[in-house]
């Protein structure tokens, strides 16, 4: 019996040593990608209109805004192709940094090349959509000025209200007030002297009430279509309300977003949006963001 047990034990040992290891032969399975976010609210702006998206405590956020200066409606197809559909033209660039002071309070600074505008702002994300509240609400207050915040100071107060539908659609309304907009009304893109502006009954008003409207829809797990329109409700309102449409791609982890957009304005601050956009021009641009 002992010899039989020894033989069985030896056979088991030989099989254990020389039998192929299925785990070693199987190729390493690629790590499963993280699931897409449960909400389509992936960014802190639609294109320029603010959203109710929060930052985590001590989280940082960087945004690059880039608008090519050539009007896509100016010239024929051949002329546009010669300039690679405006990619050879100059650009108006903006840089923005935000920091999450707490999970519902953030502060930021945005600088645009347009008249060297600097905007300082704070944002409070105090109310979230849930069983007791059908919408999310954020409050933003800031001040901006031309010539690196030295000239034509324009205070602003904006409320962003959002409603999310499942995991594919979110819509926004952002009413706001921007003061002293008339002082810088020469910044409306290429339409520096807008036809009929001297006859506008609102041309002498100093301040502007705006309403940002926008939405973002998920086309694929990490691909979104977004659009916005910012009419002026009262006060100084030269030109046309700004508008924009975009398509954007988010990385699987949600850290980066690249947005390709078409707008009628170079504006990226509240004061620039309040001063309106072109009645004719369309500009190609992009936004690039990073959360870290």
Whole-number pLDDT of residue 190: 40
Please check whether residue 18 lies inside any domain of the structure. Answer: no
Report the domain count for the chain: 1
Please check whether residue 93 lies inside any domain of the structure. Answer: yes
Please check whether residue 120 lies inside any domain of the structure. Answer: yes
CA 273/CA 144 separation, integer angstroms: 12
Distances (CA, A) of 262 to 33, 110, 273, 287: 31, 20, 15, 11
pLDDT tens per residue, range 22-59 = 444 445 555 655 555 578 999 999 999 999 999 999 99
Please check whether residue 72 lies inside any domain of the structure. Answer: yes
What is the number of other CB atoms lying within 10 angstroms of the CB of residue 227?
18
Q: Which DSSP string corresponds to 66-94?
A: EEESS-TTSS-HHHHHHTTTTTTS-EEEE
- Name residue, tokens 């502060």: 107
Long-range contacts: 243-246, Cβ < 8 Å, 24+?
243/277, 244/46, 244/47, 244/48, 246/47, 246/287
Q: Are strands 208-220 and 232-235 parallel, antiparallel or unpaired?
A: antiparallel
Whole-number pLDDT of residue 22: 40
- Name residue, tokens 């829809």: 217
CATH number where 199 lies = 2.40.160.40
pLDDT tens per residue, range 53-108 = 999 999 999 999 999 988 877 776 766 676 666 676 788 999 999 999 999 999 99
CA 226/CA 42 separation, integer angstroms: 11
Please check whether residue 201 lies inside any domain of the structure. Answer: yes
Element (H, E) at 248: strand 242-250
Q: Which DSSP string corresponds to 51-66?
A: ------TT-EEEEEEE
Q: Which residues of 95-129 are buried (b: 16+ CB within 10 A; e: fewer)?
A: ebebebeeebbbebbbbbbbeebbbebebbbebeb
Cβ–Cβ < 8 Å for 178, 165: no
Name the residue range of residue 163's domain. 39-291
Please check whether residue 178 lies inside any domain of the structure. Answer: yes
Please check whether residue 23 lies inside any domain of the structure. Answer: no
Whole-number pLDDT of residue 179: 96
Confidence of residue 133 (pLDDT cuts 50, 70, 90): very high
Please check whether residue 10 lies inside any domain of the structure. Answer: no
Confidence of residue 202 (pLDDT cuts 50, 70, 90): low
């Amino acid at each position: 019996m002992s010899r039989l047990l020894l033989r069985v034990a030896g056979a088991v040992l030989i099989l254990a040593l020389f039998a192929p290891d299925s785990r070693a032969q199987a190729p390493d399975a690629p790590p499963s990608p993280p699931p897409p976010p449960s909400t389509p609210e992936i960014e802190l702006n639609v294109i320029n209109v603010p959203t109710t998206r929060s930052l985590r405590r001590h989280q940082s956020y960087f945004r690059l805004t880039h608008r090519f200066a050539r009007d896509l409606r100016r010239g024929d197809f051949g002329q546009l192709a010669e300039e690679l559909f405006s990619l050879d033209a100059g650009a108006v660039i903006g840089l923005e940094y935000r920091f999450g002071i707490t999970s519902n309070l953030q502060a930021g600074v945005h600088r645009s090349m347009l008249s060297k505008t600097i905007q300082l702002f704070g944002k409070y994300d105090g109310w979230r959509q849930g069983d007791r509240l059908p919408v999310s609400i954020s409050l933003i207050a800031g001040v901006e000025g031309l010539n690196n915040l030295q000239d034509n100071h324009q205070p602003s107060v904006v409320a962003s209200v959002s409603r999310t539908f499942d995991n594919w659609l979110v819509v926004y309304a952002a009413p706001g007030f921007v003061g002293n907009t008339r002082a810088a009304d020469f910044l409306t893109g290429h339409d520096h002297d807008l036809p009929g502006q001297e006859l506008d009954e609102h041309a002498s008003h100093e301040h502007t009430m705006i309403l940002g409207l926008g939405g973002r829809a998920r086309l694929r797990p990490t691909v979104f279509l977004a659009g916005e329109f910012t009419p002026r409700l009262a006060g100084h309102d030269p030109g046309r309300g700004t508008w924009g449409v975009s398509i954007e791609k988010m990385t699987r982890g949600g850290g980066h977003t690249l947005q390709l957009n078409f707008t009628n304005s170079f504006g990226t601050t509240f004061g620039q949006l309040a001063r309106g956009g072109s009645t004719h021009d369309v500009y190609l641009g992009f936004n690039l963001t990073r959360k870290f």
